[in-house]
Structure 1
């Protein structure tokens, strides 16, 4: 939030125990509180949510969503969006598995998957900056293109061959191994990759000129241009990074489930947006945190097992997510209205 303050002026703060809290942090704080309450509720009712096994599964099964949440944070901070991330997961997953089955080494397949993500990020950035398209339309075009190509390549489920080098990403790494308990704490390389992505996103946004420019664009693109900031170059970086991280999420997810199909990733862009919004990033841009998006991803990930344990039908889960997004958007609007009155 470093340069957002410069572009949006003075923001209302709340005094708490002698400290000042930016009013726009309220949605992020609310997300943290909701996540804690969900875990406490799950533990109180079902007795499994504070077990190491649940924690391990939460991070391993949803490492890809954490990566996508970081990816989506960048365009949303500028008031944009990247609808292509789910389709990029699909096309890169199908290509990666097909290449591996053709006898191509996993490292080469991974590099190709990343390059495909880069290509789609470059396409989206070009449509936005060179053809003056709205991010919604530009990324929607990329989404349909990627999904269509993935369907042309294959419409059948593809499975990795045995003993492929993708396996190391899904290999479990035990952190706590206590023979007295049945649920050990473990992670895999995919979780480590997700953690590195979070660190990368934090450094990019809060400790680089590019990050300051991203916040400035979200505050006011015209003001950022008048300040002489590299707006055009930053927009390219945003969508290149977002698409590349989507390809990386595809590698992590595909290695974990050992298969791919052209329909994978459908709706994941919306899950990523939900994570970002729940995490407190303002949808109109200019304010938000990578760590908030991570919390949002964890909240989104916890909804599934919690609603399942309550016996709620799977189709109702989307209603719960929709209501949470509505609540957080209303909360953001309320905070913005308060700031404007000050």
Structure 2
């Protein structure tokens, strides 16, 4: 069928007003969510919008309100780890749930290099988002400093040192790591090692602190290896190195479930049984924990709740709440399974 290529005419606010039998001003107040509109008028406008097929001009409304109705989620991890780490996915889903309910769009930005940091900072300064949530920020993180300098509503998931002007939601990594290490020691382990990670972040550094606290005078720095990322490969390499240094180790605290899964694979291939020869515990209670054989004893980190809490605090800041600019700590618990 031939056609002239002309675009169909879009319904306007005048069409809605005519269909509803109300003034353009009343229709505008309903569309913009303003007060002083009767329930009957609101219902009439909503029915007219459906009848005429009106689609609000979001760009024009954003220019008027000076808001984008978008929040950026910045993930400071390599692309490969973004896809591998179930915690990031859970935080993202929790964030999106809250933002979607508030009619906000989630914009995900991944930083893997200094060039990415510069690009993202320029984007944030362009007014394209109303707020920012930052995951996996490092100490003296340039993006964190840039966001603080812009004055954007912002929340860290975690609490990186050196940037005190941004709110955060997090967990007590020190206490959680200490508790699960103490429980591992309580199973009778004598030579307990750790595969640490991400020591340039509060989470990694604090988990090592908790591990060291649990061991006290028994802490041996030679039984700690560390790697930049919470990854399966870190577990493979870390467990191989620990077995080279101390073949008699009988307990391992892995700084994440992904690391523990890699360590379990190396222990199996070396002929060691878990938990009989070596007990192993992780951190996160992510999907990795139940994929492991045996299932992994680990710290349950409420990743989705962290995402929801971070999103709500950003929305509260956008609405002008000063109470949302402080820190929030969520509870953790130990999920004890067969690996230890």
TM-score (norm 1): 0.23
TM-score (norm 2): 0.23
Larger radius of gyration: 2
User: Does 1 or 2 have the higher relative contact order (CA < 8 Å, sep 6+)?
Assistant: 1
Q: Which has the higher helix share?
A: 1
